[in-house]
Chain A
Amino acid sequence: MIHFIDRLQICWPIITAMAGADWVGSEIKKLVPGATVEVSDLHGTGDHFHVRVISDSFDGMLPLERQRPILDFFMPHIKSGVVHALDLKCMTEEQARVAGNTVFDPHGEGEKQFMGIHIRRPKEK
């Protein structure tokens, strides 16, 4: 029930604010100039995103430093509920080559293994 109410609150502003994968991608390209940005809309609802940001400008930076400008920009949009989930993967070209597919959908069906991590999920009542 709580989840259902939560969804109602987050879905409404999406319609009005016209958030979406294209908007997320174009804003991130402004924040990390020259980066390759790949946005996955995890549920097709325009509010849960997995984003791969690939740029050699990340070389030598800690993971949180790489995400910082993106997090700062999206903070008000996450607070307002326009963006519900933002799973970021900030990688150098070389890291992206070896990483392969990084998409992680926390609401995918059933239990599953993800990169060696067992995902437990309580059964829907």
Chain B
Amino acid sequence: MTEFNWTPDELQKIVEENSIVLFMKGTPDAPQCGFSNRAASVVSQLGVPFASVNVLSDPRARNALRDWSGFPTMPQLFIGGKLIGGSDIALELFQNGELQTLAANASGND
């Protein structure tokens, strides 16, 4: 396993190589925060594969991530390489159907 240092280049690579990426506290199966749980539940309901990154796996992760993305809180959802937002935005866009459209467009470009 190669070393991962949470550099902007490394983070950028993750969101470019995976059409849907959820940076969260814990994992979708064992979320460690209610907001991360909410986001993971929403993204799971899209019914398409997604990558999740556990920011509790490394103490450097959270600061590196927010400096890179400009988004201060966890979780952070990326679709098609673009920051969508946190769990409140994920849920809002899921409820009005826009998240499904974004996901479908992003996976179509893989």
Contacts and interface: CB of A to CB of B under 8 A. Distances in A.
Contacts of B66: 75, 78-79
A1 interface: no
A2 B59 CA distance: 12
Interface stretch (A16-24, A26-34, A101-109): A101-109
Contact of A71 (B63, B70, B87): B70
Contacts of A106: 33-35, 37-38
A67 B38 contact: no
Query: Do most interface residues of chain B lie in helix, strand or loop, or is the interface mixed?
Result: helix
Given A63-B85, A74-B72, A121 B37 contact: yes
A88 B88 contact: yes
Chain B, interface residues (CB within 8 Å), range: 20 to 34
B101 interface: no
A124 interface: no
Interface string B50-92: 0000001000000100100011110000000001111111011
A121 B70 CA distance: 29
Identify the interface centre among A106, A107, A118: most chain B CB within 10 Å of its CB.
A106
Contacts, number: 70
Nearest to B92: A63
Contacts of A10: none
Identify the interface centre among B31, B38, B84: most chain A CB within 10 Å of its CB.
B38
A120 B30 CA distance: 8
B41 interface: yes
Nearest to A118: B41
Contact of A121 (B34, B42, B83): B34
Identify the interface centre among A64, A72, A104: most chain B CB within 10 Å of its CB.
A64
Q: Kindly list the 10 A-B residue pairs having the minimum CB-CB distance in the complex, ordered from nearest.
A: A106-B34, A78-B72, A63-B89, A75-B72, A117-B41, A64-B85, A106-B35, A87-B88, A71-B72, A63-B85
Interface of B: 30-31, 33-35, 37-38, 41-42, 45, 56, 63, 66, 70-73, 83-89, 91-93, 95
